[in-house]
Structures are given as C-alpha cells and as structure tokens.
Structure 1
C-alpha cells in the first residue's frame, strides 16, 4: 500500500476539478510549478500515471482510483475541521461534487441545497447528467453522491430511494390541430414529430416505441436545455414528456393539452452516496430526502 501525501491528494483534486495546472495553482495559492511537482511526486508514490495532460485535464484509470480516495479523505478532513473549529480552529470550504439529472436540478433539488443555508464550510459543485448516467460519475470518483434512476448501489456506496418523478405526455393545442388531426390522443403520434432533450434522453422514444410498436418514422427534434425543450413543446414543435412541476399550470390554463390514452410515466429516483462516516454527507443526505418527500410521488 503506497503512502500518499495529503497535500498531493488535495492537489490532484484541484487539478481534476479546475481542469488545468494554472487554475489548480490559483485555487491552492501555489505556483503552477509546485502543482506539477506534487502531481509527479504523487504519481511516483502511486507507481502509475494519474492524469492525462489534456485540456481539460482528465484522470487516468489509476487516477480515478486515487481520486475516489482523495475525495473521501477530503470529506473526513472536513468533519475533523468542523470539530476543531469548536476549539478555535478555522478551515476553508470544501467542494462537494454531486451529479444530478436535469429535471431534478430544474425542479426540486435546489430546495435541498437551500435548506442547508447558512453554512460556510462547504460549496456545491453540481454536475448535470442524465439520470441513467449519473452513476458513472460516482463510480469514477468525480462526485461524492448522485441522483440516479438505478437502485443497485455502486461498489462502496449506499442507495436510498427518494420517490418518483411523474411525467405527462403533452403538446400545444396548435400542435394537436396541425399534427394530430385536431385530436390530442397518443394513438395518433406515429408520424407526428416529438422532442427529446438530447441523445441520452430515452423517455419520449420509449413511449413512442410502446405505442407504435417499432422504431417508427416520426421526426425527432433535440433541444438540450430545459428552456429550449419546454419552449419547443409549448411552441408546437413536437409533443414531449414534462414533469408535473413543469406542466401542471399550463395544463390547467389550456396552454398545453394531455395526449389522451397516454399513461403517466414514473421515473424512480435514488440517492447514492459513498458509504463513509461523514457528517457532511449525512447532512446533505437528510436535506435531499426532505426535499424529495415534498416534491416526488411515492
């Protein structure tokens, strides 16, 4: 087991999080040369190349192993710092990286973070990713926790059920008139265009496949921001699935209509975090579970 220097581990975190040696140096208040020397020394101690000198810098496979170790130590160090602060010592803020799916990030998840205000010992680094892919960031060590649709915990993590996001198939009245023959019903979508968030978003495609019974031939738009996605649906570019939180008012006012015959789609969400004794992760976990109880369905 190699002995890894704590300053060198903190430097690895800074290099990966900031993306360049210069930015890491600014964050750590040392020179870029010192950053380079620490990384080289850490690689010598680990007996492997840990980072790819690209732009931005990425961890190698061996580097991801060390990165996971470094993040866990940083959380444990923060717990110690908080305890020592009560005795008169002060510590800096720790960055807590979390992977969150887009719809959670744009609806209920920020409530979990604001519930932790005020505290100055942590800052959040939120990584936006599809709910089926957030675990890749946890597995690699890039984040300490993730909101995911996968229940099975990754190695070294625990999985906590949060509830489900409920989606409804909707379109604009003008779209129903122009594309569905004036009848907003799911059975009429075979040739009708629809909107996906990006190429990782499979919600609309799965519903389309279930209804049409094959790959189909409908035009498929991509709108990879929440604003673009919702405006595309509201503006009549295509039909799509929106969470209750984003479409309830528009359905009530008639600005959107539901596609008749389409069942609601529920996506179960889980909170996966490293299984370490960290009061910081415990506090964040409690806040996330509380926010989920207010917004997600059981």
Structure 2
C-alpha cells in the first residue's frame, strides 16, 4: 500500500523548499518530517530530496509529487460533491495545479484568466514558462496537467 501521509510530507518539503517550512505547514516538528522522508527514501530505495537551500526533488520524488497532486485534485473534486466524507480533523494542503504556458500568453491574457480561475477555486497554481512549441511536451511527459501549446493536434489523453 502507498503511504499517502509520507507522500504528503514529501510534497510539502518539495513545495516549500525546506524541512522546517514543511513542518510548519504540516503542524509537526522538523524531526518528524526528516524521519518521514528518511523512511520513504528507504522504502523507495533512493534519495528523494537533495538537501540544500532550497531542498530539491529528485526525479523519483517529482514522480511521487505529481502523483500526489493528481490524487489531491481527485480528492478535491470528490469532496466538493460529497463534503460529508471530509474528516474535520484531517489536515489537507491546498492542491497545486502545474500549468505550462509561453511568455507571449503570459504577457497578454493568461494571468487575467488565471486570476479569474483563482477567485473561483481553492487550487494553487504553479506556472512554468517555456516556448509554445515545447509546452505540449511538458503535458505529454506528465510534468504539468495543462498547457498553452502551439500544437494543432490534441494531445493524447487530454480534453
């Protein structure tokens, strides 16, 4: 079984950039965060976090974080329709959606659209900027869940 509580800690470390900030977000001690990461690394059999300032995710950690972000979106959608399932004592981080766009879109219409989205949503946004010829690749590789792309053909698996 997947240890989702440990994966939530990993995601908090990666998103915040430090064990201390992750501990504050999760309402636990930095030592508890360190122990959870160490246990997860032992289970995976590889380093997941490059310790530094800021802490950086390894490729395996990025894969686990993407999974947690997807799970978070699914849980968010489920709990919107069935709020009685939510455990009032269970801490839930706000879900982050990764989106890729190009600089021209970012400079013209994209920020306004994302601002409107943010006003009506509890999601956080992680926006990456790249050339529009490559943002579709980010989507195909699973690095983002949405992208502004110059590709005329729809990307497989996307709506």
* TM-score with structure 2 setting the length: 0.75
Contact 2:95–2:124, Cα closer than 8 Å, also in 1: yes
Q: 1:101 to 1:49 in 2, by over 3 A?
A: same
Contact 1:93–1:120, Cα closer than 8 Å, also in 2: no
Deviation at 1:107, TM superposition (A): 0.9
1:8: which partner in 2?
A: 6
User: In structure 1, what is the Cα distance between the partners aligned to 2:14 and 2:115?
Assistant: 26
Which structure is richer in relative contact order (CA contacts within 8 A, separation 6 or more)?
A: 1
User: In structure 1, what is the Cα distance between the partners aligned to 2:152 and 2:53?
Assistant: 34
Contact 1:92–1:121, Cα closer than 8 Å, also in 2: no
1:254: which partner in 2?
A: none
2:34: which partner in 1?
A: 36
Q: 5+ unaligned residues in a row in structure 2: which ranges?
A: none
User: In structure 1, what is the Cα distance between the partners aligned to 2:113 and 2:60?
Assistant: 33
The structure 1 residue matched to 2:48, chosen from 27, 50, 61, is 50
User: In structure 2, what is the Cα distance between the partners aligned to 1:37 and 1:7?
Assistant: 12
User: In structure 1, what is the Cα distance between the partners aligned to 2:137 and 2:11?
Assistant: 18
Deviation at 1:159, TM superposition (A): 4.7
2:129: which partner in 1?
A: 128
1:247: which partner in 2?
A: none
Contact 1:10–1:70, Cα closer than 8 Å, also in 2: yes
Q: 1:54 to 1:132 in 2, by over 3 A?
A: farther
Q: 1:34 to 1:118 in 2, by over 3 A?
A: same
1:1-298 aligned at under 5 Å gives the runs 3-85=1-83, 87=84, 89=86, 93-116=94-117, 118-135=119-136, 137-138=138-139, 139=141, 141=143, 143-150=144-151, 158-159=157-158
Bigger share in strand: 1
Contact 1:151–1:159, Cα closer than 8 Å, also in 2: no
User: Does the residue aligned with 2:24 lie in a helix, a strand or coil?
Assistant: helix
Bigger share in helix: 2
Deviation at 1:153, TM superposition (A): 7.2
User: In structure 1, what is the Cα distance between the partners aligned to 2:35 and 2:154?
Assistant: 36
Q: 1:140 to 1:16 in 2, by over 3 A?
A: farther
Deviation at 1:151, TM superposition (A): 5.7
User: In structure 2, what is the Cα distance between the partners aligned to 1:22 and 1:64?
Assistant: 20
User: In structure 1, what is the Cα distance between the partners aligned to 2:137 and 2:13?
Assistant: 20
The structure that has the greater radius of gyration is 1
User: Does the residue aligned with 1:99 lie in a helix, a strand or coil?
Assistant: strand
Deviation at 1:92, TM superposition (A): 5.5
